[in-house]
Amino acid sequence: MIFSLSTAAVASQSRTLATERLELWEQTFNRLSDALQGECRAGEHFTLSLVAEDSQFTRMNRARVRQSGQVVDGAVKLTWIANQRTCYRDLPFTGNWGEDWAAVKPALNDLRQEIDQLPEDPFIVLPQRVEGSEGKSRAVYRGDLLDRDRAIAELLGPVQGLDFVGIYAAGLSVRAQSDSAGQRHWFATESFTLDYSLFDLKGQAVKGTFADRTWDSAAYKANVARAQQQLQLMDRPVKAVSKGQYRTYLAPAAMSELILMMSWSCTSEAAIRQGGSPMEQLRVGKRQLSPKFTLRENFSRGLVPQFNSDSEMAPDNLPLIERGKLVNTTINGRTAQEYDVVSNGASDSEDLRAAEVDGGDLAEADILKALDTGLYLSNLHYLNWSDRPAGRITGMTRYACFWVEQGEIVAPIHDLRFDDTLFNFWGDNLIALTQKQELVPAVDTYEHRDLGGTWTPGALIEDFTYTL
Give the per-residue pLDDT at 13: 54
Give the per-residue pLDDT at 1: 34
User: Which residues touch 24 (CB under 8 Å, ≥6 apart)?
Assistant: 95
Question: Distances from the Cα of 16 to the Cαs of 143, 216, 322, in angstroms?
Answer: 13, 22, 44
User: Which residues touch 113 (CB under 8 Å, ≥6 apart)?
Assistant: none
Cα-Cα-Cα-Cα dihedral sign, residues 48, 137, 446, 67: positive
Q: Domains (ranges, CATH) in the chain? A: 7-231 (3.30.2290.10), 238-466 (no CATH)
Cα gap 400→380, rounded to integer Å: 10
Provide block-wise average pLDDT over 10 residues at a time, the chain (468 residues).
40 68 97 97 97 96 94 97 96 97 97 96 89 85 92 95 96 97 96 96 93 96 96 94 97 98 95 95 94 97 95 96 97 96 96 98 98 98 96 96 97 96 98 97 93 97 97
Question: Distances from the Cα of 155 to the Cαs of 164, 165, 237, in angstroms?
Answer: 10, 11, 31
- Terminal alpha carbon distance of the chain: 70
Cα gap 182→205, rounded to integer Å: 51
Question: Distances from the Cα of 21 to the Cαs of 25, 49, 173, in angstroms?
Answer: 6, 18, 11
CB 140 within 8 A of CB 190: no
Q: Which residue intervals of 294-383 are DSSP H helices?
A: 333-339, 367-371
Give the per-residue pLDDT at 129: 82
Give the per-residue pLDDT at 130: 74
Nearest of 414, 372, 374, 409 to residue 397 by alpha carbon: 414
